[in-house]
Amino acid sequence: MAQHIGFKLARLPRLWRAVIDERLAPLGLTQTRWVTLWNLRNMGGGQAQCDLARAIGVEAPSLVRTLDQLAEQNLIERRPCAEDRRTKRLHLTNDATPLLEEIEKIVNEVRDEMLGGFTSDEIDTFESMLDRIEKNGLELQRQSEQAKAS
């Protein structure tokens, strides 16, 4: 049974996002757009494009088109960075607020449905287990990087 855990862990986020995508489709949001808005909101305004890309897990140039589309929709704006003229800081606009509230409502509904039937204690235990798996994986990466550097 344990041999399938990695595959299940890899499949679960795709399934979770697919359900959310389906629910957000009537709002005209693609996964790329809502994930970008969601992450920008959670990170706080004034993020550099490269930091947002890293948080989402994409290359910065790949994010440009999505940011252009969100700017055209007046959901984000790019502002110059005081410290580095080459860098633009990303900010959510007031027009993004109601959309983000709807996204949050739908994401919360999906989370509650996906975790349906679990007690609070079971969810806490599961989250703790995921944290330990992530910690172990990060340690394995660190060890691998050290071995390559040696």
Does the residue 49 lie in any domain?
yes
DSSP state of 62: H
Answer whether residue 119 is part of any domain: no
Verdict on whether the full-model pTM lies above 0.85: no
The total domain count for the chain is 1
User: Residues 6 or more apart from 19 whose CB is under 8 A from it?
Assistant: 110, 113, 114
- Is 45 part of any domain? yes
Mean pLDDT, each 10-residue run in order, the chain (150 residues) = 84 94 92 93 89 91 92 94 82 96 96 97 97 96 92
Is 32 exposed, middle or buried, given 0-12, 13-18 or 19+ CB atoms closer than 10 A?
middle
CATH at 66: 1.10.10.10
Residue-level pLDDT at 99:
96
What pLDDT, on the 0 to 100 scale, is given for residue 106? Answer: 96
Question: Is the residue at 150 inside a domain?
Answer: no
- Phi and psi angles of residue 70, each rounded to the nearest 5 degrees, phi first: -65, -35
Name residues whose C-beta falls within 8 Å of residue 34's C-beta, 6 or more positions apart in sequence: 20, 21, 24, 103
CA angle centred on 46, ends 84 and 24, rounded to 5°: 135
The answer to whether residue 132 sits within a structural domain is no
What's the pLDDT score for residue 138? 94
Residue 64 lies in a domain: yes
Which residue segment(s) compose the domain that 84 sits in?
Answer: 2-114
Return the pLDDT at 1: 58
In a domain, residue 71? The reply is: yes
Asked whether residue 139 is assigned to any structural domain, the reply reads: no
Cβ(87)–Cβ(95) below 8 Å: no
Show Cβ contacts of residue 30 under 8 Å, excluding neighbours closer than 6 positions.
Answer: 21
The tokens for 19 are 């359900």
